[in-house]
Structure 1
Amino acid sequence: MIDEILPRGVVTAEAFGEELSHAELFPEEEQVIARSVDKRRHEFTAGRACARRALAGLGVPPAPLLPGERGAPRWPAGIVGSITHCAGYRAAAVARASEVTAVGIDAEPHDLLPDGVLDQIATPGELTLLPELRAAAPKVCWDRLLFSAKESIYKVWFPVAGRWLGFEDAVVTPDPDAGVFTARLLVPAPPPLAGTLHGRWMVRDGLALTTITILF
């Protein structure tokens, strides 16, 4: 499903429900989640299983995928990627670093954000735009899609910039008809990220999905 909003060269794998939640982990990965609650263990396990399936599509053999700085997966040399998980869904997307600078994916339940969250993640301009989006496509939970887009933005930002990016540091403008969005960064950015980023979105089967791919 998520492969539909990613370009050629990016390989994906996804799991639904509890699929892959009990897949085998490497001993090093087991140590990472040794004290985790079941929910976290299942998310971590299925996410890593999806990532290894996607890597196999690039001919990369199985290997431990340990968390790096701020929890981002440490990918094998020459690989970039992203993992996402939410209730009932896990996915991974990977690509060769010689073809793609960074890829970010995010999945969220297609439902309204909890009370108070929107004001914490949206800029004034985004709050002004939301009524227009709701009028254009009332069946889309635009607040949740905005949150998802900002998660995808961070996932391409951090591996390249190596520093934090807040929700308030990017202005997202979705196109309600074309299934795309733009993201204008409000902080200085390294050249691959400078200016406006372009992403894609999809709502299907109770999920809100967003992706951003930074190509060379």
Structure 2
Amino acid sequence: MIEEVLCAPHEVAESFGDPSAAVTLFPEEERGLAAAVPARRREFAAVRVCARAALARLGETAGPIPRGTRGAPVWPGATVGSMTHCLGYRAAVVARSADVRAVGVDAEPNLPLASERVRDLVTIHQERSWIAYLSAARPEVCWDRLVFSAKESVYKAWYPLTGLWLGFEEVRVDVDARARTFTAHVLRSGPSAGGRWPGPFRGSWTVRRGLLLTAVSVPGPAAARPLPGASRLNRPAVPARSIRPGSP
């Protein structure tokens, strides 16, 4: 699925299950799992199998990907990346920091948010009108959950750039249902260190196999010119690459 939302210069890997054999973690990764239950350990290890596979395609030697501040993964060398996991799915995306400043990816079950209260915490009033319209016109997509996922992807790209928390109410998402793209505007007030906040964030989304997947990418200095064949974020420019359960 992930190739539907991210293309070159990103490298990606995904799995629709956990590895059948035990995964050896680096000591730096083990430190964050002292109190983890077995299911959490399997999830943590499986998504790092994806991350190491994606990094290998960049030519990076396998190394630790520990959790840093606020749980954000610490990527090796001159790379950036993002990981996601939900029931039945794990994925990772990486890129050279010269090509991509930051990237965020998020997977969710294609199910409505748990309650109206949760929806009201996640969405703002400008989003609720088009969510209601699309929910009636395109009920096969859970649009409130899509907004949640898009904001999660935005935060994963935002935090490495700013080191700051970003609330759901501080982002407005506009969705193009036909093109399967979205634009996220940061509504946070106040100056940033560079004079303005990053954004708007432009991303893509897809829905398949009972899952929603969203991604955003912030181009780096080497990506000033569009790459051939990559004029749209959601147009795959690389062959599908998946990690099957139990593969290295």
Shorter-chain TM-score range:
over 0.9
Query: CA separation of 1:114/1:127 partners in 2, compared to 1, >3 Å: closer, same or farther?
Result: same
Query: CA separation of 1:34/1:20 partners in 2, compared to 1, >3 Å: closer, same or farther?
Result: farther
Provide the aligned C-alpha RMSD in A. 1.6
Work out whether residues 80 and 94 of structure 2, in 8 Å CA contact, stay in contact via their aligned partners in 1: yes
Which runs of 5 or more residues in structure 1 are unaligned? Answer: none
Deviates more, 1:133-142 or 1:153-162: 133-142
Q: Report how far residue 39 of structure 1 moved.
A: 2.1
AA matched with 1:150:
K
- Give the corresponding residue for 2:132: 131
AA matched with 1:55:
L
Deviates more, 1:145-154 or 1:120-129: 120-129
Query: CA separation of 1:194/1:26 partners in 2, compared to 1, >3 Å: closer, same or farther?
Result: closer
Query: CA separation of 1:193/1:4 partners in 2, compared to 1, >3 Å: closer, same or farther?
Result: farther
- Give the corresponding residue for 1:197: 201
Question: SS of the counterpart of 1:22?
Answer: coil
Query: CA separation of 1:68/1:127 partners in 2, compared to 1, >3 Å: closer, same or farther?
Result: same
* Structure 1 residue runs of 4 or more that deviate by more than 6 Å after TM superposition: none
* Greater relative contact order (CA < 8 Å, ≥ 6 in sequence): 2
- Give the corresponding residue for 1:108: 108
Greater radius of gyration (CA)? 2
Q: How many residues align?
A: 216
Decide which structure has greater strand share.
Answer: 1
Question: SS of the counterpart of 2:173?
Answer: strand
Query: CA separation of 1:59/1:66 partners in 2, compared to 1, >3 Å: closer, same or farther?
Result: same
- Give the corresponding residue for 1:22: 22
Matches within 5 A, 1:83-94: 83-94=83-94
Query: CA separation of 1:199/1:74 partners in 2, compared to 1, >3 Å: closer, same or farther?
Result: same
- Give the corresponding residue for 1:208: 212
Matches within 5 A, 1:38-53: 38-53=38-53
* Separation of aligned partners in 2, 1:43 and 1:31: 15
AA matched with 1:171:
R
* Separation of aligned partners in 2, 1:89 and 1:211: 15
- Give the corresponding residue for 1:95: 95
AA matched with 2:201:
L
Which runs of 5 or more residues in structure 2 are unaligned? Answer: 221-248
- Give the corresponding residue for 1:169: 170
Task: Give me the identity figure in percent.
Answer: 50
Q: Report how far residue 22 of structure 1 moved.
A: 3.2
Indicate whether 1:154 and 2:158 are aligned. no
